[in-house]
Amino acid sequence: MSAQKKVAFYTLGCKLNFSETSTIARNFQNEGFERVEFEEIADIYVINTCSVTDNADKRFKSIVKSALKKNENAFLIAIGCYAQLKPEELAAVDGVDLVLGATEKFKVTDYINDLSKNNMGEVHSCEIEDADFYVGSYSIGDRTRAFLKVQDGCDYKCTYCTIPLARGISRSDTLQNVLNNAKEISDKGIKEIVLTGVNIGDYGKGEFGNKKHEHTFFELVQALDKVDGIHRLRISSIEPNLLKNETIDFVASSNSFVPHFHIPLQSGSDVLLKRMKRRYMSKVYTDRVSQIKAAMPNACIGVDVIVGFPGETDELFLETYNYLNELDISYLHVFTYSERPNTEAVDMDGVVPKNKRAKRSKMLRGLSVKKRRAFYESQIGNTLTVLFESENKEGYIHGFTENYVKVKTPWNPELVNTLHKVTLTEIDEDGLVRFNFIAKQVSA
């Protein structure tokens, strides 16, 4: 394949998708392709899809149209969760040439010897039972932080979720490979690593192709904390029943792990948690938040919550709202329930009208704004360390403290990807925090 061929990528969905896109992009570059931005003219466009919500599904067609506007003869490839769940549907979208499933996506360059446009998309998709091996991934070059994949798949049977159908059984990277990847990321000058996976608290299962746990998530955290050169380690979404006290206490005294947790709740109603087949009740969640705040009073805690799940009456929604309102959390990620084929929930009674779902979503998003503002206000006057991002946004550079307070200051390219001690001073009209520098760069 000619070295002049250009490839561009678009990623929908989660941090895990971003880590896999980055790894697939490096595979292309190793084969002699030139990676360009998605906004540029390319010979190949790769779209990494998501199927968590209806919205992610619908965005796919508009992204395809956007690519074809840049180059109507471009070769379009769909990969990712939606590509595994609905390959024929994606293949039928006008302009799509190739659809690859859960295992095939990591061998994408093997399928593109001919870049001629097809009348109908060609599908190469495995049975999800065949997605039983692990492919490591991490993102670099895209951000000042890297997403490091440590685990894939899920053995849980939540009644609303298609991810086990899209990604297969729970399986993990080997501990040594995770440590090697973390060191490789650190050696490239990246200051922060975010651990990601489908169910990272289940880390260790399937580490060497068997179902038992060779290591635990806590052992992974302990080992990563000893890797030289890593400035920050951040735990992404982790199930409350898998976030153990030993992990919380270790993070509180860690050299590298930061006081920020994102813990899915989904509902504050035990009635709905049972219908969702979640593996905890609200008391467990309350205990996790209390344990974190006792060990790390300034910790940031993010929450995933679903509104409009079948059976969510006005009373049960208010139970969730009031529970979250009283809980010492920092922000919410609100998901409006959408019916997904091949899930238990799609056949449940008590369907919530879409206008009610939208109203409830708006209420919780408003609560999230209130919670984030209160958390930011609690941090004013504190001395924290900021890692600055790489974008110039309307004349400002943004960054995040270790406990995920977003700050801003006038653009200065010398600040990009550097760590600085600051004192937080005030919240501006955009809801971001201003600060005073109190120390020169913490590290190179």
Q: What is the DSSP letter of 275?
A: H
Ramachandran area for residue 100 (φ above 0: left; ψ -120 to 50: alpha; else beta): beta
CA-to-CA separations, 225 to 250, 253, 262, 287, in angstroms, rounded: 10, 11, 19, 25
Q: Which contacts (CB < 8 Å, 24+ apart) does range 36-40 have? A: 36/6, 36/7, 36/8, 37/8, 38/8, 38/9, 38/10, 38/67, 39/70, 40/6, 40/8, 40/70
Q: What is the DSSP letter of 33?
A: P
* Per-residue pLDDT at 1: 45
* Per-residue pLDDT at 53: 62
* Per-residue pLDDT at 142: 60
| Through-space distance between the first and last CA atoms of the chain, rounded to whole angstroms | 39
Instruction: Write a three-state SS string for 282-341.
Output: HHHHHHHHHHHHHHCCCCEEEEEEEECCCCCCHHHHHHHHHHHHHCCCCEEEEEECCCCC
pLDDT in tens, 338-388: 999 999 999 999 999 999 999 999 999 999 999 999 999 999 999 999 999
* Per-residue pLDDT at 157: 96
* Per-residue pLDDT at 211: 73
**Are the C-beta atoms of 423 and 435 separated by less than 8 Å?**
yes
Name the one residue in this structure whose structure tokens are 């471009």.
74
DSSP string across 172-189: E--HHHHHHHHHHHHHTT
At 282, phi and psi to the nearest 5? -60, -30
Which residues belong to CATH 3.40.50.12160 in the chain? Answer: 6-126
Q: Whole-number mean pLDDT of the chain? A: 93
* Per-residue pLDDT at 117: 85
Q: What is the DSSP letter of 240?
A: G
Spatial CB neighbours of 142, under 8 Å, sequence gap ≥ 6: 18, 22
Tell me the CATH number of domain 383-443, given options 3.90.550, 3.40.640, 2.40.50, 1.10.10: 2.40.50
Residues of the chain with pLDDT under 70: 1-3, 53-57, 141-143, 439-440, 442-444
Q: Could you tell me how many helices (H) and strands (E) the chain has, helices first?
A: 12, 19
* Per-residue pLDDT at 440: 64
Which residues belong to CATH 3.30.750.210 in the chain? Answer: 129-258
* Per-residue pLDDT at 199: 97
* Per-residue pLDDT at 115: 86
pLDDT in tens, 263-302: 999 999 999 999 999 999 999 999 999 999 999 999 999 9
Which residues belong to CATH 3.30.750.200 in the chain? Answer: 262-378
Walk across the sheet containing 145-149 and list its strands: 145-149, 192-196, 232-235
Q: Is 262-378 assigned to CATH 3.30.750.200?
A: yes
Instruction: Tally Cβ neighbours within 10 Å of residue 212.
Output: 9
CA distance 232 to 258: 7
Q: Is 129-258 assigned to CATH 2.60.40.2230?
A: no
Q: What is the DSSP letter of 151?
A: E
Radius of gyration of the chain from its Cα atoms, rounded to whole angstroms: 22
CATH dotted code for 6-126: 3.40.50.12160
* Per-residue pLDDT at 57: 63
Spatial CB neighbours of 135, under 8 Å, sequence gap ≥ 6: 20, 23, 106, 152
In terms of DSSP bridges, do strands 96-100 and 34-35 run parallel, antiparallel, or are they unpaired?
Answer: unpaired
**Are the C-beta atoms of 208 and 234 separated by less than 8 Å?**
no
pLDDT in tens, 153-175: 999 999 999 999 999 999 999 99
DSSP string across 359-415: HHHHHHHHHHHHHHHHHHHHHTT-EEEEEE-S--BTTEEEEEETT--EEEEE--GGG
Short-list 269, 251, 271, 268, CA closest to 260: 251
* Per-residue pLDDT at 131: 76
Q: 398 forms bridges with which residues in the sheet?
A: 408
Q: Whole-model pTM?
A: 0.93
